[in-house]
Amino acid sequence: MNRQFDPATPELMDRAQPVTPELERDLANLRALNRAYGSHRLIREFLRRWLKPSTAVRVLDLATASGDIPRLIARFSRERNARVQIDAIDQQRASIQIAQTLSREYPEVYFHCADLFEWNPSEKYDLVFCSLALHHFGEDEAVRVLRRCRELSRGGVLVSDLRRARWMSCAIWLLTATIYRERMTRIDARLSAARAFSFDEMGHLAQRAGWRDFGHRRFAIGRQAIWIDPP
CA of 80: how far to CAs of 8, 48, 50, in Å?
Answer: 44, 9, 11
Question: Which H/E stretch holds residue 21?
Answer: helix 21-36
The pLDDT of residue 150: 97
Query: Taking all residues of the chain, what is their mean pLDDT, rounded to a whole number?
Result: 96
Q: What would the pLDDT profile of 1-35 be if each residue is shown by its tens digit? A: 899 999 999 999 999 999 999 999 999 999 999 99
Domains contained in the chain, CATH given: 12-228 (3.40.50.150)
Helix-strand-coil split of the chain, %, nearest 5: 45, 20, 35
Cα separation, 44 vs 51, whole angstroms: 10
CA of 76: how far to CAs of 11, 80, 82, 178, in Å?
Answer: 31, 6, 9, 33
**C-beta separation of 108 from 77 below 8 A:** yes
* Helix 21-36 vs helix 39-50: crossing angle, to nearest 10: 60
Low-confidence stretches of the chain (pLDDT beneath 70)? none
Q: What would the pLDDT profile of 26-58 be if each residue is shown by its tens digit? A: 999 999 999 999 999 999 999 999 999 999 999
What is the bridge-based pairing of β-strands 153-162 and 215-219? Answer: unpaired
